[in-house]
Structure 1
Amino acid sequence: MGVKGLQYFMERCFPDTCVTVDLRELASQHVARTQQDSTTTDNTSSPTLVVDGMACVCHWYSCKDWVCGGQWREFMDLLKSWVEAFTSAGIRLVFFFDGVVEEQKRKEWVKRRRRVNGEISKVFRYLKSHGEQPGREMFCLPSGLASFTRFALRSLGQEVFCSKQEADYEIARYARHHNCLGILGQDSDFIIYDSAPYLSVAKLQIDRLTTVLYDRQRLCQIAGLAVHQLPLLACLLGNDVVSSEKTMNIRNNAMATYRQNNPSSHSGAPQGQMVLAVSHLVSSLWGKEEEEAELFSLNLSAPLRELLQRGISSYVLPGQEASQQSDSSTASSVSAFEKHVSAEVLKACREKHVAAEGFMVYNVVCEGVIECSNTLEDEEDTELLPQAHVFKPCRQRIYGLVLLHGHDGSDLPAIKEWFIYPGNPLQEPDIVHPVPVSLPGEKLTLDFLWFSTGPEVSALRLLTFFTIFDCQDLSDLHGTIEDSLLAALCLITYIVLQVNTLSQEDVDAYLSQAVCLRLKSTQELQHIKLPVLCSRAVQLGALYVRGLGNLLGANCASGCALPSAALMPWQSFDGRLFHSKYLLAHGGAESSVLLESNSSCLKLFLCLREKVTEICRKRGRVLLSRPRPVEQSPKTTPGSRYRERHSGGASGSDGSWRERGENPRGLHHGGGWREREETRGGRSHHGSRDRAWQRGGHRGGHRGGMRGGQHFHPHQFYPNFQDGGPHDTNHHPKQSRGWSYGSRGRYQLAPRWPQPPGPGT
């Protein structure tokens, strides 16, 4: 959020404080100054730009598709080009990402998550009304983008840090300590810190390497303040620590005094008047010989005075006045969980976290708190479970692997989870207890899994990883298929076991997408044309990407059973490709069509599908064919007859599970997951709700298919589709003419799918 109204004040009221700069020239000037200044603490020859990664992700992701789950290959290419633009100019980049949410900012975090939830609801309403992606004004980041971007940048050879406290503070501290060229971000807090110059990523012209610099010194001249007085100005205007509501009376009084003394100044700029009025108040609180403001003269309540002092100290960096207070306030206390791991593991946890190599484990061991931001989920959907619930059992096992070490864990405090899902008011965290990961004859510890060597240890890591997802049967496939495909198979199998409303068509869409992606170029993926978008497919895409994050957490906890690169979305998922497979699968397309008439892909697909079916059968989960009609937009509806035939609900499904009298996996009789959440007031630590989710609920599949024998065919959207007859999932499909993408990116019928030159990267 930054400082309320400050950036607007600088841009609109005093534009001279906003200077357009050429980063190449800025870098040359910085090098010249650094060579003359023998006191610099940085030995790096290249000028360094510190990048606020969280502020940049929405600018980095400029791919056309965002609602389907992300165009990850294209995003990687864009990120690579962005980095190369700076490195070719001799500018070194250092990236910082938020690693924790500080409790003093929890309310603001919750407020933002609720706001984004409202925006996501609008997205789904638009999807179901129009059957297409909404415009950029409704843009939401693909799920997991910030988390995976850290790994993407590391794979590009960049230096990436994950914060252990407020990321803004660590960015400003690093930039000051290393005498950096500037801070690239989009947060007016960087104007307040007495650190490197603040440069706007929103105003960045990457082709020319120009942007806007918000001049701290010019602001101080206009406001009549010294740089060390800016933190109090920020707190009185309102920031993430001190909400603007808390200081409203102070600002109103300051404004009244200012207008009385300056009746004609800035009459047309109320925001300008407000900033100047508060600036005059701040200046009046400092005597000529005082080192800090005399807050007692404001007649504040003790809690508000303490809050202001905390807010001021949050801007004070090491080496500046009152830095001791700042350091003590940000020092991390010993977590109640840390005693359950060795000193060596604790050290490794922190190192992996800071270097952006780990995932989830640090937050469990050192914080005992896990957060997950918004996901593209339809709050009106009563059938698909929220990802927070789908992946809860595997998270519990991750917590158990990290903390329990073979004992019952009766003395362990529970993990606090701040997860966003429909029906969760976010008034308090969910309390989640670890669940042991037990293997016959093995006593698992992080010390053994992380630091031991040898082939037997590697095998145990892999078995532990698969056990977290109840997919031990997949261990024998290691080495026979690509690691990324093995990870995808594990995730798809886990999702099927947890979500009983998934059908054979959903599994076919997931698997065919993962198999075909390996042979696709970025250009081919960009040219996929989707005649209509389905809200259910959007949710399934987001669910898969969120699942990859849980794979990362399990992989880190088990000692890196698989290379982290194999778990990245650009290795196993593309939103547009998945959506196209979903439409074809639910349209009754044969397997050969799904696999684009590529015989080797078809063979691999059938083997993977059989493995999923086998594991499900062992666990009592029966996969049935249940094709669904998709939403129709006014632009794509062939006529009112279709709407009359498929008017069973907004989601376009064949009725909710309540209407069918069915009981999806993990749901008690008498209501859906959301109804169960209405009992959140009595959150029991070991109650039936936790136990039901841990068990995964009822086993078994659904009875019957579509109501009234309805069946949706791809020719409704793909006019040239050759209907090969009923979709029989139990027999080897006939070899039929397949679909290809023509030179203009349209579906066209081809005698054979052309053999690709080789696996894509």
Structure 2
Amino acid sequence: MGVRGLQGFVASTCPHVCTVVNLKDLAAQHRSRHPGCAPTVVVDAMCCLRYWYTPESWVCGGQWREYFAALRDFVKSFTAVGIRLVFFFDGTVEQGKRGEWVRRRLKNSKEISRIFHHIRSHRQQPGRNMFFIPSGLALFTRFALKALGQETFCSLREADYEVASYGLQHNCLGILGEDTDYLIYDTCPYFSISELCLESLDTVLLCREKLCESLGLRRADLPLLACLLGNDTVPEGVFESFRYKCLSSYTSVKENFDKKGNVILAVSDHIAKVLHLHQGEKKLEDILPLGPNKALFYKGVASYLLPGQKSPWFFQKPKDIITLNKQVITVSSDPEPKQDVPVCTDPESQQNVSMCTDPESRQEVPMCTDPESKQVVTMCTDSESKQEVPMCTDPESKQQVPMCTDPEWKQQVPMCTDPEWKQEVPVCTNPESKQEVPLYADPVSKQEVSMCTYPEIQEKLPVATDSEFKLEASVCTHPEIEQEDAMNMGPEIKQQGTMVSDTEILKVARTHHVQAESYLVYSIMSSGEIECSNTLEDELDQALPSQAFIYRPVRQRVYSLLLGGYADGVSTCPAVKEWFVYPGNPLKHPDLVRPLPMTVPGGTPSLKMLWLSQEPEVQVRRLDTLLACFNLSSSREELQALESPLAALCCLLIYLFVQVDTLCLEDLHAFIAQALCLQGKSTAQLVNLQPDYVNSRAVQLGSLLVRGLTTLVLVNSACGCPWRTGEFMPWNVFDGKLFHQKYLQCEKGYSVEALLEQNRSRLARFHSLKAVVCKACLRENRRIVARAHWGTHHTGRWGRQGSSSHRTDSGHSRSGQGQPWRDQGPGNRQYEHEQWRRY
């Protein structure tokens, strides 16, 4: 993460950049300087997951009760000294960083292979040097922090940008994280989470001013340095030859520095002694070998500019016009945060990237003027303005492009009708190709290519509220943050229309997303693209299919619910792009997955009913819809009769055992027994629990159940929260070590009484839960039998000689297709009799 090599360079070459500080003392100083203002630390939560996960066991599926206790201690340490915490989580993977995301996922897959090799060889968990965070940790951490009363947000773009923006605009005490990008952003101080001592609140301050002093640079030079060295936007190899030339001409190479350190010093020296000489006189592309990477490089530099900031490296012409790689960027010279932000125009393609402008400025920004076609498209940035905008006329075709005026924003954009989406989307016409290109339009702000993270929306919408967290989803979250991604100029970023045209529903989905109350819903509805990171799955175990495939039918029904995917049995919306990591997937392209129809008693309700209605009877409709997503409508009465949180767990177990043939009766016993025994155990008892050894199949089963819980979060939020979120949080229904212990006891033939630790009060509940699961599975022609009763068919598959163990929801086994799960290409798998293909 961050700038390549900078972390090691600072630690080895510039140790004076790192200063030990005490956050309690800094908070006291902050209060004296700003009376009445609570000192606030904004936390990059994704950087802190490894620090927070302190339980010794991590391979069995997660020690969730211990983890929740660790989070509670973390929060208490700060609140005890009057420090307010604000947490940010990554909510999306930006298109320009998809390649980096893929690279890391493939690297993680290799690490997971080594983990399972160690488990099979030694029958124990690997050392902390091979530590891999449990599946779903980031998602469940969001809900854990909200349960602890903390302000928790999910980003609409790269989280580090929103963290840096929040820290700057709210005059925060500092940023807590572990990402060298925070040394590059010109924002509040940056503290290291890895160096934090929770008892004393001592940590290390990484000072960007001292870094600049060591390198002979100014703070405004740091984004330039970061892109020349390589970061998540600009690949390291792009400027490798340039760095080599800098190193060869650098006269102060020190033998005791490593090569990386010398490269950083050499590039910094080139910036200070060469580039500074031409600054303001020559364009950056004239003094750097940018070549075909100009747009990408400028985008990388601009990605570090926070609201109200500008870069002196953008060569300025009169009227505040900056020319970048045949692109025009208009900026304001006003240094205050409320200012116009750049407009990027490519005169060759005539595609415009319109920017969000402060409504109080009441200034118009020209979007696109082509001297050959004479086309002009002007945008009114004041939401209250009544000014009309001329239509766009092509002098060659003499045809006018119709303009659609949005009644809320009063702005006009060319429109076309997409036959696939059955909706109108704004377009930009390229005079060379004569093709109309759809522009991305954010239905919330009504602006083209809108990347504004927290638009200023002052209204509240009635929504389904989780009574546990006392949450109300209001649309207005951070009106202070108004700047958009000003430099979205890379041609690799393809503009898209949203998947849903209902702006009211999208506002609600966006709000739930930002306030970290939902999972994947807004991504599905806005971009039609989702991702899921690595899971602890053994690629050599052919008997258990990947969680990506097991839960796919559920996701497909959610797509149908969110996108209105079926009419008269025919799909009416585009496929959703799934970036899911599973063994054998090279992640070169997303999987295109189309919605599946589902049957809800009484008909599928609308999202407005599910999300906005306050009528008591709608709660019944919400539950009906949730069960329909799992194809479990027939089990409604049995599940409703169960106590919380066991109803949610049983729903998941029924679905799992229907889907996967190679789950046996012993597996069911282990799942149920651990859930019942968990309710009677303290955190200390769980800490001291030690399974006899580690079984690779049990490891995968633990991860499989936890991924099921994350799927349940998706379904529950899509259906308007018929179940309280806390009912299926893992700290209430699952403990990795406890499940492992019960699994091993089942392998050894322990009786049910022994599994339940001779607690007779649990026995009746055990048989009741088991009966619900077995009865529901029988309805789908799935009979759960003990492993000892398996015939050669099951034994063969268990021995990884047969075919897939996956079942469709109709109960027909996928067996006999001739290839194991891991050997089938994604294009060969079918779901619900519908072929799906690679994108």
Same fold (TM over 0.5): yes
Q: Which moved more, 1:446-455 or 1:317-326?
A: 317-326
Q: Which moved more, 1:289-298 or 1:99-108?
A: 289-298
Tell me which of 280, 290, 296 is aligned to 2:269: 280
- 1:4, 1:238 within 8 Å by CA — same for their partners in 2? yes
Counterpart in the other structure of 2:197? 205
Counterpart in the other structure of 1:383? 543
- 1:20, 1:212 within 8 Å by CA — same for their partners in 2? yes
The AA in structure 1 aligned to 2:507 is K
Change (3 A) 1:135 1:431: same
1: distance between equivalents of 2:503 and 2:701?
Answer: 40
Counterpart in the other structure of 1:165? 157
- 2:598, 2:631 within 8 Å by CA — same for their partners in 1? no
Structure 2 residue matching 1:296: 3-state secondary structure: helix
Change (3 A) 1:320 1:56: same
The AA in structure 1 aligned to 2:625 is T
- Equivalent residue runs for 1:353-372 within 5 Å: 353-372=513-532
Counterpart in the other structure of 2:508? 348
Q: Tell me if 1:619 matches 2:780.
A: yes
1:347 Cα offset (Å)? 0.6
- 2:577, 2:593 within 8 Å by CA — same for their partners in 1? yes
- 2:565, 2:596 within 8 Å by CA — same for their partners in 1? no
- Equivalent residue runs for 1:348-747 within 5 Å: 348-404=508-564, 407=567, 410-477=571-638, 480-626=641-787, 656-657=797-798, 664-666=805-807, 667-674=814-821, 677-678=824-825, 680=826, 683=827, 689-691=830-832
1:307 Cα offset (Å)? 1.2
Q: Which moved more, 1:167-176 or 1:7-16?
A: 7-16
The AA in structure 2 aligned to 1:377 is E
Q: Which has the higher contact order (CA 8 A, sep 6+)?
A: 1
Structure 2 residue matching 1:455: 3-state secondary structure: coil
Counterpart in the other structure of 1:248? 240
**How many residues were matched structurally?**
655
2: distance between equivalents of 1:442 and 1:358?
Answer: 24
Change (3 A) 1:455 1:267: closer
- 1:165, 1:330 within 8 Å by CA — same for their partners in 2? no
1: distance between equivalents of 2:342 and 2:815?
Answer: 52
1:321 Cα offset (Å)? 1.1
The AA in structure 2 aligned to 1:193 is Y
List per-residue Cα deviations over 1:269-301 (Å, max 9, x = no partner). Answer: 433321111112223223476299623222431
1:119 Cα offset (Å)? 0.8
2: distance between equivalents of 1:81 and 1:453?
Answer: 37
1:437 Cα offset (Å)? 2.4
1:664 Cα offset (Å)? 2.5
1:89 Cα offset (Å)? 1.1
The AA in structure 2 aligned to 1:115 is K
2: distance between equivalents of 1:326 and 1:272?
Answer: 37
Structure 2 residue matching 1:46: 3-state secondary structure: coil
Q: Which moved more, 1:524-533 or 1:438-447?
A: 438-447
Structure 1 residue matching 2:236: 3-state secondary structure: coil
Q: Tell me if 1:23 matches 2:23.
A: yes
Q: Which moved more, 1:273-282 or 1:114-123?
A: 273-282
Change (3 A) 1:168 1:659: closer
Tell me which of 333, 342, 345 is aligned to 1:325: 342
Identity within the alignment, %:
43
2: distance between equivalents of 1:387 and 1:134?
Answer: 23
Task: Judging by fraction of residues, say which structure has more helix.
Answer: 1
- 2:123, 2:694 within 8 Å by CA — same for their partners in 1? yes
Q: Tell me if 1:135 matches 2:105.
A: no
Structure 2 residue matching 1:242: 3-state secondary structure: coil
- Equivalent residue runs for 1:25-40 within 5 Å: 25-35=25-35
Change (3 A) 1:663 1:433: closer
- 2:802, 2:818 within 8 Å by CA — same for their partners in 1? no
The AA in structure 1 aligned to 2:527 is E
2: distance between equivalents of 1:627 and 1:485?
Answer: 28
Q: Which runs of 5+ in 2 are unaligned?
A: 312-330, 332-340, 345-352, 357-439, 444-495, 808-813
Change (3 A) 1:443 1:544: closer
Change (3 A) 1:269 1:377: closer
1: distance between equivalents of 2:15 and 2:343?
Answer: 33
Q: Which moved more, 1:342-351 or 1:292-301?
A: 292-301
2: distance between equivalents of 1:627 and 1:143?
Answer: 31
Counterpart in the other structure of 1:7? 7
- 1:337, 1:368 within 8 Å by CA — same for their partners in 2? no
1:254 Cα offset (Å)? 0.9
Change (3 A) 1:619 1:34: same
Tell me which of 297, 319, 323 is aligned to 2:287: 297
1:628 Cα offset (Å)? 11
List per-residue Cα deviations over 1:603-637 (Å, max 9, x = no partner). Answer: 011011111111111111111100599xxxxxxxx
The AA in structure 1 aligned to 2:543 is E
The AA in structure 1 aligned to 2:342 is Q
2: distance between equivalents of 1:485 and 1:272?
Answer: 56
Change (3 A) 1:224 1:522: same
List per-residue Cα deviations over 1:396-449 (Å, max 9, x = no partner). Answer: 011111111762564411100011111111111111001122224324211111
Structure 2 residue matching 1:526: 3-state secondary structure: helix
Structure 1 residue matching 2:743: 3-state secondary structure: helix
List per-residue Cα deviations over 1:486-515 (Å, max 9, x = no partner). Answer: 000000111101111100111111111112
The AA in structure 1 aligned to 2:288 is L
- 2:441, 2:498 within 8 Å by CA — same for their partners in 1? no
1: distance between equivalents of 2:305 and 2:44?
Answer: 19
Tell me which of 297, 304, 309 is aligned to 1:315: 304
- Equivalent residue runs for 1:141-152 within 5 Å: 141-152=133-144
- 2:575, 2:594 within 8 Å by CA — same for their partners in 1? yes
Structure 2 residue matching 1:205: 3-state secondary structure: coil
Change (3 A) 1:193 1:266: farther
Change (3 A) 1:620 1:478: closer
1: distance between equivalents of 2:747 and 2:281?
Answer: 70
- 1:266, 1:272 within 8 Å by CA — same for their partners in 2? no
Structure 1 residue matching 2:309: 3-state secondary structure: coil
Counterpart in the other structure of 1:727? none
2: distance between equivalents of 1:250 and 1:32?
Answer: 48
Structure 2 residue matching 1:321: 3-state secondary structure: coil
- 1:405, 1:445 within 8 Å by CA — same for their partners in 2? no
TM-score (norm 2): 0.75
1: distance between equivalents of 2:819 and 2:610?
Answer: 39
The AA in structure 2 aligned to 1:540 is L
